[in-house]
Structure 1
Amino acid sequence: MNTFIYGVLPYIALTIMVGGTIIRYAYGERGWTTKSSEFLSKQDLKWGSYLFHGGLFMAVGGHFVGILVPKFVTEAAGTGEHAYHMIALAGGIPAAILFLGGFLMLLKRRFAGSARMAVNTSSIDKWLYLVLLLTIVSGTAATIQNIPGAFDYRETISPWFRSLLMLQPDVSLMDGVPKVFQFHMFLWMVLAITFPFTRLVHCLSLPFEYFFRRDIIYRKK
């Protein structure tokens, strides 16, 4: 089972993510949208969206450094294991608070808000919110659980992920990884599989034209 989850499933997930995204853009560009609901409910979107996206950018940056930058690189730069762990916590805990807090606000808005929000929430949206919730909660739990620094993911998860990118998956690296980290790794694959079929595709769209378009004039009736 471990061979499939950590040696085969990542490639299936990435293939579906990349291939499905290309197909959706090529054949369903009109559906390439976040399905914005701001016109339905604007006030309760403001803070939740800011917190969620702020925490997201911090989390992505932390994952990039922690997973893709080898341990020997940071040690060669003079950052030992303890110092690195403290820096990771200093960034990871605030990111988790912003990310999870913002997402819970968006959940409340989506599922405990007006009836109009419920009508505009599709089945795939509900599955997406569930997967995102589990991913964020498991990542937050892993961060909190590892506050003492007992588990060094840069000796297991990080080299495993890099082995995937080199097309030489070393499944044995995931054998002794704590369950909460294993669950978190499994969830990113589930998220990658669902990515092309959800509103998440909007993160690949860069609104360069926004900066050069003419002003839009709104007038009250």
Structure 2
Amino acid sequence: MRKSVEFDVKIYDNKIEIIPLEEVDGNHNYEITIEDIQAKNSNRSLERIKYNFTTEMYPCFVSLESVKSLVEDLGLDDNLLLYYIREASEEAEYRSSCPIDYDKLPFWVRQYVRYKAAYDALFRTMLSNVPEAGYSGTLADITFNNPSSQASAKSVLNELKGELDKWKQEVENCGQYGYAEPRRTIHHIRNRNHGHHVNLTTIGRLR
């Protein structure tokens, strides 16, 4: 859905300042179009210019640079990565079994978002390139041609998936993956004749 934003314009010599008169929304792409600009002392006019930008993504639990470091040689679009960082951040909050403090994000949450965003962006990019190239081979459950051209990206994808699965478990269990949390402990004398106490522990849930 396209939305117009009212704005004011100020011109300083060869600079143009565009000032929104209303609050712009986060998590949105905006386009600025500049046209019909004519030079003051001649008949020359400026060619039409279009500029696109993305407002702050929220929630955004990791920086763009931290995700790019995982896939820096694969040329993924920054806006695509920002979108998947936001999506992964929302999913981390949904999956977490304990409240997330935005000011003190746990390490396992940040790691999950990094690998989730990188994996999803790379996977989507590879799928979108398949029809254009006309390749065939195997990527997850998808088949395409000439897999050698995708070998590097596929290798990175597999590595990302392994890390993603690990950090997903950490997020779902508040960083306590592999531990059991006792719900209650019952102290009980099994048999007076035995003369000793036995501790019976009931496991409430696995963490």
Please report the TM-score for the alignment, with normalisation by the length of structure 1. 0.30
Greater strand share, structure number: 2
- Which is bigger in relative contact order (C-alpha 8 A, separation at least 6)? 1
Please report the TM-score for the alignment, with normalisation by the length of structure 2. 0.31
Greater helix share, structure number: 1
Q: Which has the larger radius of gyration?
A: 2
